[in-house]
Structure 1
Amino acid sequence: MENELLFSDLGISEEILSAVEDMGYTQPSPIQTQTIPLLLEGNDVIGQAQTGTGKTAAFGIPIIDLVDTSINKPQAIILCPTRELAVQVEGEIVKLSKYKKRLASTCIYGGDPIDRQIKALRKGVQIVVGTPGRVMDHLDRGTLDLSNVSMIVLDEADEMLDMGFREDIETILKSMPEERQTVFFSATMPKPILDLTRKYQTDPKIVKVLRKELTVENITQVYYEVKTPLKMDLVTRLINVHQFTLSLIFCNTKRATDQVTEELIARGIQAEALHGDLSQAQRTKVMNKFRKGHCSVLVATDVAARGIDVDNVEAVFNYDLPLDEENYVHRIGRTGRAGKFGTAINFVTGRRDLGKIRDLEKFIKTSINKLSPPSSADLLEMKQDQLVKDVTRKVSQEDDNTIFEATIGKMLADGLTLEQVAMGLIKLQMGPAVKELNELNFDLDMGRPGGRDEGRRREGRDFRSERGSYDRGGDRGGSDRRGGKSDRGARPRKDGKDSAKDANMARLFLNLGKKDHIRPNDIVGAIAGETGVSGRSIGGIDIFENFSFVDVPKKDVNHVISVMNTNTIKGKAVNFEISKG
């Protein structure tokens, strides 16, 4: 019965209904149907839902309706793990509040000039969307007043905890009035999330949307077995066969993202890369090109893809299978959105990846079917069908054909028959494709020309190099511990080795220490939030009186230094450099 409800049945204002209608929404999603009435009644809520289910509107609509526009001070705050998601959420708030007069919102996040944010806050806003680190900066500066806040929403709470923001989140919660609504939205509900809900919520109502409803119903999931050197041939062939207008390709490393993008462009496919090395301005430019269809393929890493909100993505390619099941769910949720149908295509290389597919099937409780790669004959047939459609469409158009008829007349005058004219034009159109297929006539299941053994040798070498190039580094450990003269962040690796002794890690010096009230989680949160480097990969942290050390993956050293040296930690300018000893 819930699916038959309309937005007008949820008790929301006429202003919101008009905005929702302008946005093209007809019926509320399951998460909206259950959450909106609970929040309007003043309840604390725990919402378990993935990206792409409409959860932003589920909390955004009640916030807008409950805000008192006669009070020009922050009344609701929404915390997000990344700047991309914060910008996306605030953009949705702006659309939903289109017809509510005198309502103002702003977005505060690292990497954006803080002076501009201070000016917006001083001017007066009712709704603040931000990342924990930048919210803490404003609290420390006294430029953000939470005394009038009556609702706080933690969006993607599990991701924020994973990035090391727990202490910041608790500080923010303690800075607010005790009489408030506290709302948690999270894809998963691990113990740390449940601990926070017990500590900071009062009799919360639980809203849970089953994963099958979220990610599988409108998405066809398949996989292809393909050797590593042939992945690019296969992805190109699939894009051409299915004529995808917009598609996403996920890779596990920034290096792979750039390589795939370059190869796609070389093959005539409009592609752009999205990863942590890009500045905010560059990310915005890339996303705008993708949204407007100026590039048909976006190649991204998991961290950079947070906040991608494009409804018309037809296919998601897992060029590299994700490292865990939650990332898989997050990736494929980028297609099949807003009631549309989508396709998730996985590339499987070797027994290890086959095992991952089996684990994913158990996790999502849905089969992922194996398909055979399209053959050269399939691609040729597709091009034939497309040419027939194009010619039929052109002939049916009522245009002035005088010049075209005169051209045919010249050909006939030269002694050609109509059949010969048609054959010549078809050769002009399809000749390059046929030539390419003849030159690249191999079976993607078997390997490149040269036989099965050559394909096996190449696959073995490339697969080993891929595995060796991606090191997850240390996991987030227990609480901080004090030892000697420093505060050491306890961040042990799964294999029990000290990350400082890991050959894949490098030690960085930074000029902030105990005197600056810096904690390990401040350092982890700043690096993860500003650079896109996974919080999981950051190693040991030593905090001394006037300076600190942090271990980061060697492959990210230059990026971390360049990005962090233009940023702040807890409002203080920071200088990172490679440790000399």
Structure 2
Amino acid sequence: MTFNEFNFKTQLQKAIDDAGFKEPSPIQADAIPIILEGKDIVGQAHTGTGKTAAFGLPILNKLECNGDVEAVVIVPTRELAMQVSDEIFRFGKFLKINTATVYGGQSYSRQLKHIDNASVIVATPGRFLDLLRDGKINIAPKYVILDEADEMLDMGFLDDIKEIFTFMPNERQTLLFSATMPPAIKKLAQTILVEPEFITITKSDVTNSKITQTFYVVEEKERDDALIRLYDFKNPEKSIIFCRTKKEVDRLSTFLVSQGFMAKGLHGDMEQRQREEAIRAFKTSKLEILIATDVAARGLDVNDVTHVFNYHLPFDSESYVHRIGRTGRAGKEGMAVSIVTPHEFRMLQKIEKNIGTKLEGRSVPNISSVKEKKVTDLMNKIKEQDIQDYALALVEELKEEYDISTIAYKLASMISSSTYVKGNNKIGKSEQDIQRLIENANKYGDSNGRDRNRGGRGRGSRGGSRYGGSRNRNDRSSDRERSGGDSRRRNRSGDSRRRRD
């Protein structure tokens, strides 16, 4: 089955083709026809199965683009809101569809301005409910989608969701997606949906078994050193490094070039010509490393990528699955490597739970281990090397001045410089340290060993916003949509933006 069989609008199909989407995933194949028929659905599918396109594509196809807000997507976190908004904006670009992203962090006036020009709102529950309660927006969307409903339940948003639906019109199509179906979500579905169709996708559909998934635990300041050491040890033929922000892509590409790697960045702020040049060079192996953001790498189709590196873990499991899916293609084996800090263990465990796979924790190799592997690789290369006529002539000429042993020592000295290993001998945590971190995380529910009730809900990495730069303490503590904090803080935050990747 291909996406052409859904008979989407020409402009929408063009966007799908541009994104490199060929065959629909199981959730897409099952859900899209039902949504196009106008029926409500309950989709039980884990993150990483392609849910965003499963509801986004048919809804975009149905929009009339009449100047009103026609669809609302409600998600649990600001990071997921950004991702879903990016995805919908990208698929709707030829339909001239604008999206407004509503979550904590910015002024009301800014987000209201974007809502005025939007056909689709992607929102976290707290700020969206504030706008509805205060009468700042008066909308009657034809389509309402709840994504990651069980996550919103865990974060304490169930009452907010119920109240939001008191503001929604009775005549609407409602779609609910959830990885699990606890009783509260089943009851919610009975309340807000009308004779829904049920779709279930199992965990076994999520990841490729040919991809070996590992992680290495380091301190924040060791990320660059760990990345270089892992490249020295693994020596990947062709790899992609994923970063969260465009700024991070630029910095890391400059750093790797300075270390002698053939690397280039890929992100949405680059001109189209630059992006095409980078992708072409990567596909033709003129580049060995492509450093990219999640959005920029969507639709990138290269079958011979041997390794994927997560410089930082993504904010959600679906991005993780999309990232590692760039390797292990066309029946080949692949390696997915994640660099994490102890603070990111909760995020790591959430990804493992959602994808139904345990990642293997390993220690970053020390200098002697890397050197030993480099020497072994070099010896194997020498053994496999065919003897060429020009080499015979060169050795015969050198024999006039040196004996054969001296010639061999000199040649070995020249080529063995490639076995030199830079950096500190020890980088990151040992496997014993990693095991203790895992045990503490399992015992306390928090990678720092703090009691969950005392320490608050884990927020994952504090390494910065998806859209560049680090967040300050006030941003993190005031954002209920992300941290599940006190509802009294909601009126301090909010944002809406039109995505232009």
- Say yes or no: TM over 0.5: yes
Answer whether contact 1:136 1:570 (CA < 8 A) is retained. no
SS in 1 for 2:479: helix
Name the aligned partner's letter for residue 119 of structure 2.
Q
Q: Show the counterpart of 1:165.
A: 157
Q: Show the counterpart of 1:121.
A: 115
Answer whether contact 2:15 2:92 (CA < 8 A) is retained. yes
1:55 Cα shift? Answer: 1.8
Q: Show the counterpart of 1:132.
A: 125
SS in 1 for 2:324: coil
Q: Tell me which of 184, 188, 201 is aligned to 2:176.
A: 184
TM-score by length of 1: 0.54
CA distance in 1 between partners of 2:54 and 2:118 (Å)? 21
CA distance in 1 between partners of 2:142 and 2:225 (Å)? 55
For residues 407-426 of structure 1, the aligned pairs below 5 Å read none
Name the aligned partner's letter for residue 55 of structure 1.
K
SS in 2 for 1:117: helix
1:375 Cα shift? Answer: 6.1
CA distance in 2 between partners of 1:328 and 1:127 (Å)? 24
For residues 286-365 of structure 1, the aligned pairs below 5 Å read 314-315=307-308, 331=320, 334-336=323-325, 340=329, 342-344=334-336, 364=356
1:199 Cα shift? Answer: 1.6
Name the aligned partner's letter for residue 168 of structure 1.
D
Answer whether contact 1:249 1:297 (CA < 8 A) is retained. no
1:435 Cα shift? Answer: 4.6
Q: Show the counterpart of 1:66.
A: 62
Q: Show the counterpart of 1:213.
A: 205
CA distance in 1 between partners of 2:134 and 2:297 (Å)? 32
Answer whether contact 1:88 1:309 (CA < 8 A) is retained. no
Unaligned runs of 5+ in 2: 245-251, 262-266, 270-277, 280-286, 385-389, 457-474, 495-501
CA distance in 2 between partners of 1:382 and 1:109 (Å)? 51
Cα distance change, pair 333–186 in 1 and its aligned pair in 2 (3 A) = farther
Name the aligned partner's letter for residue 14 of structure 2.
S
Unaligned runs of 5+ in 1: 251-260, 271-282, 286-291, 299-304, 390-394, 396-407, 449-454, 476-492, 494-498, 503-522, 549-563, 572-581
Task: Name the Cα RMSD after superposition.
Answer: 6.1
Q: Show the counterpart of 1:258.
A: none
Answer whether contact 1:221 1:345 (CA < 8 A) is retained. yes
1:209 Cα shift? Answer: 1.9
Answer whether contact 1:164 1:524 (CA < 8 A) is retained. no
Answer whether contact 2:206 2:355 (CA < 8 A) is retained. no
Cα distance change, pair 420–126 in 1 and its aligned pair in 2 (3 A) = farther
Larger CA deviation: 330-339 vs 311-320: 311-320
Higher relative contact order (CA 8 A, sep 6+): 2
Q: Tell me which of 4, 7, 16 is aligned to 2:3.
A: 7
1:77 Cα shift? Answer: 0.5
Cα distance change, pair 125–527 in 1 and its aligned pair in 2 (3 A) = closer
CA distance in 2 between partners of 1:465 and 1:173 (Å)? 40
Q: Tell me which of 99, 104, 107 is aligned to 1:105.
A: 99
SS in 2 for 1:56: helix
Matched, 1:144 2:67: no
The one-character-per-residue Cα deviations of 1:477-534 (angstroms, maximum 9, x if unpaired) are xxxxxxxxxxxxxxxx4xxxxx49x9xxxxxxxxxxxxxxxxxxxx9995343xx5x4
CA distance in 2 between partners of 1:39 and 1:196 (Å)? 19
1:57 Cα shift? Answer: 1.4
1:78 Cα shift? Answer: 0.8
Answer whether contact 1:83 1:110 (CA < 8 A) is retained. yes
For residues 36-75 of structure 1, the aligned pairs below 5 Å read 36-69=32-65, 71-75=66-70
CA distance in 1 between partners of 2:477 and 2:173 (Å)? 25
Name the aligned partner's letter for residue 336 of structure 1.
G
For residues 123-522 of structure 1, the aligned pairs below 5 Å read 124-147=117-140, 149-217=141-209, 219-221=211-213, 237-240=229-232, 241-243=234-236, 245-247=239-241, 314-315=307-308, 331=320, 334-336=323-325, 340=329, 342-344=334-336, 364=356, 376-382=371-377, 427=413, 430-431=416-417, 433-436=418-421, 459=432, 463=436, 467=440, 470-471=447-448, 493=453, 499=454
CA distance in 2 between partners of 1:309 and 1:163 (Å)? 30
TM-score by length of 2: 0.62
